[in-house]
């Protein structure tokens, strides 16, 4: 059991600026009795499956939630969002075709044949990446379409640019309309990877970062522009302001911006392929972890990401890198005032903790029910690995993030529409 915070969590939410969002979120979240549920105490379900067949792990994980998934999809078109950061050149970095096949096979089993695989790659066109990853072979078995998120129109949003200001969102970027549209049922399908700026790439980050538009002409020397750098414009060394860690690079802005776009882009479902993860210098230059041969599936993306944090044993690595930094989030900073609120969740990745504080899903393992091949948190232990964190993280970069969100997410939760 987790230690209880010093004040009642419901009372805190109702008395804070976060209350409105948390109560709205409770209307959506796929928990039992959601209509009147407090999002911080409502229960969610996460399927964990394990075996020697990657595709079968994905299929069986989704089978565990078959009725709920079918009801949640309804008549909507399914958009599967992989994470192909290397454009198909680094096997360990990109969602493999077997993962996509597992999802499509499940959709076929419930009579859902209207599906799209969509991605925005930072290094090449989406279609070339799909080809390199052999995605087009799926056309032999499934009526799936393949699209580039960069070519589906966009809407502009303003995010934080700490290079210019620490108090005002100043940078405008383009976000793909496809992932903003609530008429699509969005499945986030990443591999678990360590990350150089936010500790880990999981289901929320897969969608948020993939939503940011890159002009296809960029890859053919046509002078197109890419908006992804606007998500994390930190350059050089930025002071933490505590008088101690001034030589460390502070990537607070990326954590803030993922959270800032979280309502607009929250995936309807997470399918995280834990068959083979990446550690060390992820998300594209890391090394393989000992195979876990596991899959994590949930209609609550935040719960899926929380179980992923457990399977990656992230906070053990962080504590080793920074033994005085602590494992739980509070409202203090190094050299700052003492904590008055302590949340029973891992402090890192910070952007996930921010989403938890705002009630975007269930993040407290006391309220997450595991189904499938694992029935309890203790049962995760044989499947877990302690991922070696990115070199920068182990050197102290990206730690000491602000413990509470900066403002609230933009817009309204697309899952409530």
- Span 130-161, pLDDT tens digits: 999 999 999 999 999 999 999 999 999 988 87
pLDDT at 10 over 50: no
Task: Provide the CATH number for the domain around residue 249.
Answer: 3.40.50.11440
Backbone angles phi, psi at 40, to 5 degrees: -85, -10
- Identify the band that residue 403 occupies on the pLDDT scale cut at 50, 70 and 90: confident
- Identify the band that residue 316 occupies on the pLDDT scale cut at 50, 70 and 90: confident
- What lies within 8 Å, CB to CB, of 166 at 6+ separation is none
Q: Is the pTM of this model over 0.75?
A: yes
- The stretch 107-114 carries a mean pLDDT of 96
Q: Is 381 contained in some domain?
A: yes
Domain of 169? 43-406
Q: Is 347 contained in some domain?
A: yes
Q: Is 1 contained in some domain?
A: no
Q: What is the pLDDT of residue 22?
A: 40
Percent of the chain scoring above 70 in pLDDT = 76
Q: Is 37 contained in some domain?
A: no
- Provide the 8-state DSSP code for 353: H
- Euclidean distance between CA atoms 100 and 136, whole angstroms: 11
Higher pLDDT, 265 or 328: 265
Q: Is 288 contained in some domain?
A: yes
Q: Which has the minimum average pLDDT: 317-331, 343-357, 361-375?
A: 317-331
- The stretch 6-30 carries a mean pLDDT of 36
- Euclidean distance between CA atoms 10 and 15, whole angstroms: 9
Q: Is 15 contained in some domain?
A: no
pLDDT at 129 over 90: yes
- The stretch 323-327 carries a mean pLDDT of 48
- What lies within 8 Å, CB to CB, of 324 at 6+ separation is none
Closest of 278, 250, 230 to residue 86, by C-alpha: 278
Q: Is 413 contained in some domain?
A: no
Report the domain count for the chain.
1
Give the mean pLDDT of the chain: 82
- The stretch 29-48 carries a mean pLDDT of 65
Closest of 188, 234, 235 to residue 211, by C-alpha: 188
Q: Is 192 contained in some domain?
A: yes
- Euclidean distance between CA atoms 212 and 102, whole angstroms: 26
Query: Sign (positive/negative) of CA torsion 268, 5, 194, 245?
Result: positive
pLDDT at 330 over 80: no
User: CB-side exposure of 367: number of CA atoms within 13 Å?
Assistant: 23
Give how far Cα 83 sits from Cα of 151, 186, 270, 331, Å: 17, 13, 12, 33
pLDDT at 216 over 90: no
- What lies within 8 Å, CB to CB, of 163 at 6+ separation is 233, 234, 235
Q: What is the pLDDT of residue 249?
A: 55
Query: Sign (positive/negative) of CA torsion 190, 195, 197, 198?
Result: positive
Q: What is the pLDDT of residue 392?
A: 79
């Amino acid at each position: 059991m987790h230690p209880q915070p010093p004040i009642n969590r419901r009372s805190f939410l109702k008395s804070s600026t976060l209350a409105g969002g948390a109560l709205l979120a409770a209307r959506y979240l796929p928990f039992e009795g959601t209509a009147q549920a407090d999002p911080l105490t409502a229960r969610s379900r996460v399927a964990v499956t394990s075996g020697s067949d990657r595709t079968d792990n994905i299929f069986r994980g989704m089978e565990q939630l078959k009725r709920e998934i079918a009801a949640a999809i309804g008549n909507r078109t399914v958009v599967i969002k992989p994470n192909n950061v290397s454009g198909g050149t680094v096997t360990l970095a990109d969602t493999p075709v077997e993962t996509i096949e597992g999802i499509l096979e499940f959709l076929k089993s419930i009579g859902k044949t209207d599906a799209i695989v969509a991605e925005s790659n930072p290094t090449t066109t989406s279609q070339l990446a799909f080809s390199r990853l052999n995605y087009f072979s799926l056309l032999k078995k499934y009526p799936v379409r393949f699209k580039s998120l960069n070519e589906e129109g966009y809407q502009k949003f303003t995010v934080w640019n700490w290079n210019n200001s620490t108090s005002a969102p100043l940078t405008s970027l383009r976000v793909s309309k496809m992932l903003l549209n609530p008429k699509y049922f969005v499945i986030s399908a990443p591999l678990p990877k360590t990350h150089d700026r936010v500790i880990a790439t999981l289901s929320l980050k897969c969608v948020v970062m993939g939503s940011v538009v890159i002009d296809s002409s960029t890859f053919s020397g046509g002078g197109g522009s890419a908006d992804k750098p606007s998500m994390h414009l930190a350059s050089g060394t930025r002071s933490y302001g505590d008088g101690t860690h001034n030589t460390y690079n502070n990537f607070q802005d990326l954590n803030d911006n993922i959270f800032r776009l979280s309502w607009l882009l929250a995936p309807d479902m997470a399918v995280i392929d834990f068959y083979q993860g990446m550690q060390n210098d992820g998300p594209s230059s890391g090394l393989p972890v000992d195979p876990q041969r596991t899959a994590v599936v949930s209609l609550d993306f935040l719960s899926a990401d929380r179980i992923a944090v457990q399977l990656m044993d992230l906070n053990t690595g962080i504590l080793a890198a920074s033994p005085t930094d602590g494992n739980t989030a509070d409202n203090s900073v190094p050299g700052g005032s003492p904590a008055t609120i302590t949340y029973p969740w891992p402090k890192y990745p910070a952007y996930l903790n921010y989403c938890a504080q705002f009630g975007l899903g269930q993040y407290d393992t006391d309220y997450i029910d595991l189904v499938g091949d694992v029935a309890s948190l203790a049962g995760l232990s044989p499947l877990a690995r302690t991922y070696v964190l990115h070199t920068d993280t182990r050197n102290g970069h990206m730690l000491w993030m602000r413990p509470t969100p900066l403002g609230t997410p933009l817009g309204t939760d697309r899952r409530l529409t």
